[in-house]
Structure 1
Amino acid sequence: MIKDLRLICLLIFLGVFIKLHTSSAEDEMQFIYHGFHEGEAANLHLDGLAEILPNGLLQLTNTSKQQSGHAFHPFPMKFSMSSLNVTQPYSFSTSFVFAIVPEWANGSGHGIAFAISPSMDFSQAMAIEYFGLFNLSNNGVSSNHVFAVELDTIKTLNFYDVDNNHVGIDINSLVSNASAPASYFSNTEGKNKSLELISGDPIQVWIEYDWNKKLLTVALAPIGVQKPIRPLLSFPLDLSLVLLDNMYVGFSSATGSIASNHYILGWSFNRSGEAQSFEYSKLPSLPRSAKQRKKLWLQIWLPIIGVTGLMGVLGMIYIVRKIRYKELREDWEQEYGPQRFCYKDLYKATKGFKDRELIGVGGFGKVYKGVLPCTGAQIAVKKISHESSQGMREFVAEIASMGRLKHRNLVQLLGYCRRKGELLLVYDYMPYGSLDKVLFSNEQPNLSWDQRCRIIRGIASGLLYLHEQSEQVVLHRDIKASNILLDADLNGRLGDFGMARFYDHGAIPETTDVVGTVGYLAPELTRTGKATTSSDVFAFGAFLLEMACGRRPIEPERLPKEVILLEWVFENWKLGEILQTSDPRLEGSFLQEEMELVLKLGLLCSHTNPAARPCMRQVVQYLDGNAILPEVLLEDADIGIVAMSSQQSEKLNLPFPSSFISVQGIFSDS
């Protein structure tokens, strides 16, 4: 009898223990937040701009530019069969309510991403289009083991985005595996309805993954609307190839040159079943929008202004001043898309465009170093003078070209400003300034051969992108050392697109004006006046010889046979002594095969016959060792540059070699 009683007690104890343990495991695999009040989300892992507001609203970012914020559940989730009571190892369901409130009515940046990551450390990640998840070096690397669903409000051409209002499924990269413009299926109306992510209104998202079907679905709808019976995205996916055993779930958000407030109102997650539904009345409310604040301000102050005569006079003065200093805006500006900066911000950033902030002077005007007061980011402001020959046409061209182009070896145009007759362009600041300055100035240490090779490959990659990989063919038309800038890691970036021309792939360029710099001009330009990708290749050939020989294309003070660099190298090649032309400052610290390749490729790119010159894709293959340089093309080559006096160059409005020395230090400290 006593033994039976003990057995019963033992069974009861085991039952209670199993129930408690099972309940605890289930709690660890699911949660729901109706707002993030202290106590409910005290342990939520936050970094960057992310913070919890007093009413329980989770704010991932504010209107700070080019910043990011993260909010993650603090404990890792198990994504394996070994987890308790989990029969579908990678299945999960989550739902959350978000709102994006842009700083300005017609612009936003960049968006929110729900993410599953093996780590909560995103200290190396970049903001802007990288969403605070990846950076230039690890974007697209399979070892990231990151799964994300992005709510993107910017169209990034480099990531092949469909538009500036879309939802994407991302695996280890911001190039989405599947994406679609934001919309939802109305169950009541039986049709799809568009949805604006930056409306400022709360929107609910459902993300569900079925391990048995290997299927991921994503749906969204305005808050309070029933979950759509048809998802926006339905994508076959085997997450066992992506997710590890222990993973963290949460949100990442980022701003760019234009910023937004990114909010999460509520979040529900279930690792082993359907995520719990929200009680919408328990969700926190959003702050008043800018439109609502403006309306409230008018309701309070307009009656006072109307009654008080003095305030009325002051109001009129304010309106007159605002009209007087109103910035110019025209229809074409809507097409190009880069950030438009406020003149007041640029004035403060450059300390009133003081001479001590001046870092470059040229025929186009002046360049100033600046620090944006709102973010502390260093910038370079190119202020085009009234007398400059680079007028509105060139200004528009530079905005059009640089605003569309995205490549790591191009100087990034951050934005622009127009005020009265002043034209201003804003770029990333390049600490080391122009390659021309570093390569030829005795004030700088000489570049090593490895550094020069990295710069050469970088500029070649950038030109290949311009000629073949961008939306349109881009002719730079002024490739030279002084237009190549060096970032903090001494990577080369091609800049100054004021002379660039665009045309569609397969079309014939129509340019007939000769522009460029003597020493870099292809011979056919003075005959036809038509720039082509081949004439860009010719200028690149002159640049290759500059890098290898450590001198400019034309140096009148040298011996007669050495004045023109191209002809001097060619003559030494014919004598079998081409290595004698290498930069003596390198002191032989280079591989002879690499130096010969660069010198001979420079000669081949400088072939008088445009058809004999390689295209940039071939140039990159030669530099990477994926193709053998055809020396036979040099045997009967007629190598030479445009013979032109300084008087002739003035008639064509071209810089003569002396200008190589005077225009240096663009975008850097002098």
Structure 2
Amino acid sequence: MASGLLKTLFILVILSFASCKEDGSFVFNGFRGANLSLDGFASVVPDGLLVLTNASNLAKGHAFHPKPFKFKSDSTPGTTLSFSTTFVFAIIPKYSYFSGHGLVFVVSHTTDFSTALPSQFLGLFNFSDNGNASNHVLGIELDTIPNSEFQDINNNHVGIDVNSLNSTYSTGAGYYDDSTGAFQNLTLASSVPMQIWVDYDGEDLQLNVTMAPVPMAKPNKPLLSSIVDLSSVMMDSMYVGFSSATGVSLSTHCVLGWSFKMNGIAEPLDYAKLPPLPRLDRKHKSQKLAIWLPLTSCALALLVVATVVLVVKRRNKYAELLEDWEKEYGPHRFSYKELFRATKGFNDKTLLGSGGFGRVYQGVLPSSNVEVAVKRVSHESRQGMKEFVAEIVSIGQLRHRNVVQLLGYCRRKGELLLVYDYMSNGSLDNFLYDETRPVLSWAQRFRIIKGVASGLLYLHQDWEQIVIHRDIKASNVLLDSELNGRLGDFGLARLYDHGTDAHTTHIVGTMGYLAPELAKTGKATTKTDVFAFGAFLLEVACGRRPVEPSAEGQQVLLLDWVLENWKRGTLLATGDPRLAGDFPVEEMETVLKLGLLCSYPSPDARPTMRQVMHFLDGDSTMSDLPPSYTSVGILSMTQGEGFNDYMMSSSSSVSHMFELSGGR
């Protein structure tokens, strides 16, 4: 009888939860016993729920059918075959106001996404391969965070992705009511199950994406319906599956059921057999402990006391500040224990650099194996801390390929810890001034310049708020593994709404990059950032610091020196001698003249960053600089006018990096 029961149960599992057929189709009504290829945080829990990513920071997960399917026609070479799939998913954010990045249904020639980032790239790509035709990836993204670098339309959309997270077509999540034709919104990160249908007609090249809440039948009108030629995307054999990533916001991304078929319509899912979603509010099971403790013996009581002492000592080791107002920033707050372990106890062997700003350590987050840079900065005053952390969290929402992402923060005793993306090649100034480093070619420098300009345009004009960086310089431009420039270090940054004026009053920054009007007004603006960017342009092109001592012991401004050469007609002679003249003359002239224009004494005469990008891209031609252009002699002008209280030498930032009391 027992053997008969086991046989019956086995047959029910096979028929009810997973079937894979020889006709190029399968159906999973739950994933208990399913044969899937899983990696990252992906797992199948005992009740059959496929969890792609759980509520962890910087997590990614993938789940693929283990065998590839034939996607190319034998009878008509080059033609992509039709396919159909449907799946039920749910996105469960840990905090109702923050969600992870989302999930993607994927058709790919590979299941290896080990180089993909667990952030806005949804576990599919990274900064260097996003958009490459060699990816051979089709994705249907369910995206819950807007990323301007991908031109995302909002924080709740469905998109068709071809080799890139820049969706070819996208629209807000929802469905069209069959009876009225009216569009009904759906919230992807609502913790409730929803269903997606994807149907591709290989002959008509028609791709339809439809969605609806469970258990509604498939609406007649698709959410997205587009002509998409996949002939160059699909290879003969392709895998199908899912990818997901959380970033710094904590979400659980689940798939409850999945059906797929080549050259036909995917079999409907049986909603009654789908696994349940995890409960959101789990009660602490402390009643048993409360009953057991009074009954312990004296010997056990001594053991408890000893244990408590050890726990208290351990807690003091990892103690951190956490106030009520910080609870809403949960997804952006790292525990000190996690950062301590990531940096091996802030060991000197993990130290990347130090200075007036604090110390920066390299680390690997134990929960996700993601490399990070952790900056430790002292903060002695609590005044303004709430407002400052609010800005840090807001800046953590920045998403641009040329901006180093601020992942989060931690507060402990007398220090603040900021967690950034780790850039393997360090800062640009190391390549400009360290003779042990290889010389950057002009092509590399020009690409870095354009990248930083693009990032600064995003901060000034393209993000939802205006971000003033206030410390643009070569040491704050970091280089990734492919020497792409990314603007980092937002410890001095301030942000405000479009259409309003900045109201910072403390002068912060680095000598040589500071606009002359700061000495009089103390007000940082986008124009003062442009001035600093001008000094940066000259620094990269000339290979010299903005302020250097002369043989007579005087301070010499790079801006003055380049300006004098321009007036003498020897502008190109200021180019970095290590380049040995190996550069396009037109590009070098553009960068040098643009550096002078951005550093113009009058703020109103400086270009916007959008105009700067037009000049660098060759879309606009620069006019000649006015013959009357005269440097203001910044060093001599600023003596005794308020700079000395806030600045250090030309090689370091101000010691008061976090002016919490008056920085607002």
Q: Give TM-score scaled by structure 1 length.
A: 0.79
Match of 1:21 in 2: none
What's the secondary structure of 2:634's corresponding residue? coil
In structure 2, the residue matched to 1:275 is 266
Moved more, 277-286 or 605-614: 277-286
Tell me which of 437, 441, 464 is aligned to 1:444: 437
State the AA in 2 paired with 1:304.
Answer: W
Alignment map for 1:228-307 (pairs within 5 Å): 229=219, 234-240=223-229, 244=234, 246=236, 247-258=238-249, 260-280=251-271, 282-283=273-274, 291-292=281-282, 294-295=283-284, 297-305=285-293, 307=295
Which structure 1 residue ranges, 5 or more long, are not aligned?
1-24, 664-670
Question: How do 1:251-650 and structure 2 match up within 5 A?
Answer: 251-258=242-249, 260-280=251-271, 282-283=273-274, 291-292=281-282, 294-295=283-284, 297-305=285-293, 307-308=295-296, 325=319, 327-331=321-325, 334=328, 339-387=332-380, 392=385, 395-396=388-389, 399-400=392-393, 402-559=395-552, 563-631=556-624, 633-644=625-636, 648=640
The AA in structure 2 aligned to 1:278 is L
Structure 1 residue 355 displacement after superposition: 4.0
Deviation at 1:518, TM superposition (A): 2.5
Does the 8 Å CA contact 1:60/1:71 hold for their aligned counterparts? no
Distance change >3 Å, CA 475–CA 172, structure 1 → 2: same
In structure 2, what is the equivalent of residue 129 of structure 1? 120
Note the C-alpha offset of 1:352.
2.6
Q: Equivalent residue for 1:30?
A: 25
The 3-state SS of whatever aligns with 2:549 is: coil
Counterpart residue identity of residue 180, structure 1: G
> How big is the shift at 1:71?
0.7
Cα distance change of structure 1 residues 549 and 141 upon mapping to structure 2, 3 Å threshold: closer
* 2:86 counterpart residue number: 95
Distance in 2 (CA, whole Å) between partners of 1:108 and 1:565 is 47
In the alignment, the residues of structure 1 paired with residue 64 and residue 213 of structure 2 have an alpha-carbon distance, to the nearest angstrom, of 23
Alignment deviations for residues 129-168 of structure 1 (CA, whole Å, 9 cap, x no partner): 2223333344356775644333334444544556655544
Distance 2:39 2:193 in 1: 23
User: 1:110, 1:154 within 8 Å by CA — same for their partners in 2?
Assistant: yes
Q: Deviations over 1:198-240 (max 9, x none)?
A: 63x6554444457879572422324xx3426477x62231234
Q: C-alpha displacement at 1:72, in angstroms?
A: 3.0
- How much has 1:607 moved relative to structure 2? 1.8
Counterpart residue type for residue 75 of structure 1? P
**Superposed CA offset, 1:287-345 (max 9, x none):** x65744x54x33543432354487898699879997994642454773x7862111111
Q: Secondary structure at the match of 1:237?
A: strand
1:227 aligns with 2:227: no
Matches of 2:647 and 2:430 in 1, distance apart? 17
What is the SS of the residue equivalent to 1:648?
coil
What is residue 174 of structure 1 aligned with on the other side?
A: 165
**1:97–1:358 CA distance, 2 compared to 1 (3 A):** same
| Alignment CA distance shift 1:516-1:197 (3 Å) | closer
Q: Is the 8 A contact 2:391 2:494 kept in 1?
A: no
Q: 1:238 to 1:73 in 2, by over 3 A?
A: farther
Matched-pair contact (CA < 8 Å) for 2:332–2:393 = no
Residue pair 1:114, 1:251 contacting (<8 A) in 2 also: yes
Q: Within 2, Cα distance between the matches of 1:488 and 1:390?
A: 39
Instruction: Report the CA distance shift for 1:545/1:370 in structure 2 as closer, same or farther (over 3 A).
Output: same
Residue of structure 2 in register with 1:19 after alignment: none
Contact kept in structure 1, 2:356 and 2:654, CA below 8 Å: no
- Shift in CA distance, 659/173, structure 1 to aligned 2, threshold 3 Å: closer
The CA RMSD over aligned residues, in Å, is: 4.3
Tell which structure's C-alpha radius of gyration is larger: 1
More helix by share: 1
Q: Is the 8 A contact 1:102 1:261 kept in 2?
A: yes
Alignment-derived partner of residue 657 in structure 1: 649
CA offset digits 1:25-47 (Å, max 9, x no partner): 99524332234465xx54x5545
8 Å CA contact 2:196–2:209 kept in 1: the answer is: no
Contact kept, 8 Å, 2:410 with 2:417, in 1: the verdict is yes
**Structure 1 position 416, deviation (Å):** 0.9
| Aligned residues with identical type, % of pairs | 50
Taking the aligned partners of 1:436 and 1:388, their CA distance within structure 2 comes to: 32
Q: Which moved more, 1:380-389 or 1:654-663?
A: 654-663
**Residue 117 of structure 1 contacts residue 146 of structure 1 at CA under 8 Å; is this kept in 2?**
yes
Alignment-derived partner of residue 6 in structure 1 = none
Q: Distance in 2 between the 1:302 and 1:528 partners?
A: 63
Aligned in 2, Cα 1:381/1:337: closer, same or farther, shift over 3 Å?
same
Q: Distance in 2 between matches of 1:163 and 1:300?
A: 47
Residues 610 and 325 (structure 1), Cα distance of their counterparts in 2 relative to 1, 3 Å cut: closer
Change (3 A) 1:337 1:237: farther
Q: Residue type matched to 2:142 in 1? A: L
2:512 counterpart letter in structure 1: G
Moved over 6 A (4+): 103-106, 182-187, 210-213, 309-324, 388-391
Does the C-alpha gap of structure 1 residues 48 and 332 become closer, same or farther in structure 2, counting only changes over 3 Å? closer
Secondary structure in 2 aligned to 1:301?
helix
Unaligned runs of 5+ in 2: 1-19, 656-664
